[in-house]
Chains A and B, each alone.
Chain A
Amino acid sequence: MLRAFAAVGADVRLARHPDGLRGAERLVLPGVGAAGSAARELQRRGLWQPARDWAAEGKPLLGICLGAQLLLDRSDEDETPGLGVIGGVCRRFPSVSDGGPRMVPHIGWNAVEMMSGVQADGYFVHSYWLDPVDHAAVVATTELDGFRFPSLLRTGAITATQFHPEKSGGFGRALLAAFATGLLDGRSVVAAAKA
């Protein structure tokens, strides 16, 4: 993650405790692993409440994969409470008999399909999916064995990706660069895109 941001020219550092957030303009919640242990680790390091405050203040936040799932109210995985900065639930893929995909975890490249019709390919590794309350936040969806789920969310200054932009080739790099340079900061987006 650090390598990927460095590759797009961002000044990036790892925050191991609340002091590490001092002076930062943007916050990234990466993550691979289990929701329960990730949430406990954030709490143990004293980063849980600062992350919530960060979002409440409307500051730019990027959640990736598990980091995106933790932004919701709660996760079915380990019955873990989330940060609650995006309304919704992180759900396990349904079983095959309930219309779910055959291969779980979803590992590999898949289409990230924007509502506008534009597509890009992202690299995914996950067993749970983002189910936000506000569907207006859904920028893109992805389909796996006929099961469609949101794969890119944006609301205010918050961006959440189910795929891993740091492993998603040029598309992922462009997304990281957009976040690092403030293009995903929220209201300024339209002006920045026009500039």
Chain B
Amino acid sequence: MSLRKRLIACLDMTDGRVVKGTRFADLVDAGDPVGLCLRYAADGADEIVILDIGATVDARPALLALISRAAAVLDIPLAVGGGVRSYDDAAAFLDAGADKVSINSAALADPALVSRIAQRLGSQSVVVAVDAAAHEGSWRVRSVAGTLETGRDAVAWASEAVERGAGEILLTSIDRDGTRSGYDLQLTRAVADAVRVPVIASGGAGSAADVIAVLREGGASAALLASLLHFGMVRLPELKARLAESGVEVRRPLPAPRPEEVAAWRG
């Protein structure tokens, strides 16, 4: 038994509403992020990521309130990204109840921001998101939601982010994002081999087989799942069962022990 491969449910939201995801006909409000968080947690998600893709300054108080509501009911880790531009932004997210913050464009604009946050809040709470696109046999980093070519090499930037204190890398293949043609296994493998922190693979998942491939051949520690879950193409319990059958160690959906059983465990 060793470290489990994680399945992370990602909620893209803007203005306090989930952008994708209306498959849960039984949810009173399918656009409510907290309801979806709970549903995915109950389904066996190992972690939840909330990405505020709007991330306007005006929406910040509502986002903090949302983090607080989600953290109050979740019993698994919660990461939040979107609009983290300063140490104060990161601290506010953690104070509201997030366990980790995901930083992207602001880290590229000011790499020392990663160090500042990691030194004061701990590496475990710092995820650096790297959006990468293939470029002449390697991968280049893009900033500002994939719109700005930075000229940086993706593997080199991921390594630098880790040296500066990133506890995890959230790696998105821009080429594969939204295509459902599978994760970029080569990109994921290149970054996973270069850093000694968990790499969360994102972008391109179209099937359970894609998830298995990125966790095995890709060397990823976790797979980020968005539309695959939101549109009901796979369900987490079945996906975990498939992973386990394929020899990928996942957190097993065992029934929780009763407190009396926990108390009976002795050395």
Contacts and interface: CB of A to CB of B under 8 A. Distances in A.
Contacts of A175: 259, 262
A180 B254 CA distance: 23
Interface in A180-195: 181, 183-184, 189, 192-193
Interface in B131-178: 167-168
A150 to B, nearest CB: 9
B266 A139 contact: yes
Given A118-B265, A167-B99, A183-B262, A143 B77 contact: no
B75 interface: yes
A26 B32 CA distance: 37
Interface stretch (B1-9, B181-189, B209-217): B1-9
B123 interface: yes
A103 interface: yes
Contacts of B257: 118, 120, 170-171, 174
A166 B78 CA distance: 12
Given A119-B1, A175-B262, A109 B75 contact: no
Contacts of B46: 108-109
A192 B6 CA distance: 36
Interface residues of B, number: 42
Interface in B246-261: 251-252, 254-261
Interface stretch (A12-20, A51-59, A70-78, A130-138): A130-138
Contacts of A105: 123-124, 167, 197
B2 A183 contact: no
B2 A193 contact: no
A193 B262 CA distance: 9
A93 to B, nearest CB: 12
Contacts of A116: 265-266
Interface in A47-68: none
B61 interface: no
Contact of B122 (A33, A104, A178): A33
Contact of B262 (A34, A113, A178): A178
B259 A181 contact: yes
B198 A174 contact: no
B138 to A, nearest CB: 24
Output the residue of B99, B255, B265 with the most chain A CB within 10 A. Answer: B265
Nearest to A96: B196
B123 to A, nearest CB: 7
10 contacts: A33-B122, A108-B46, A109-B46, A121-B4, A135-B267, A144-B3, A170-B255, A174-B259, A181-B259, A183-B262
Given A7-B72, A170-B255, 20 more contacts: A32-B122, A33-B122, A103-B221, A105-B197, A108-B3, A109-B4, A110-B1, A110-B2, A116-B266, A118-B261, A119-B1, A119-B254, A121-B254, A140-B265, A143-B1, A168-B76, A174-B259, A183-B260, A189-B263, A193-B263
Interchain residue pairs A-B with the least CB separation, the first 3? A170-B256, A183-B263, A178-B259
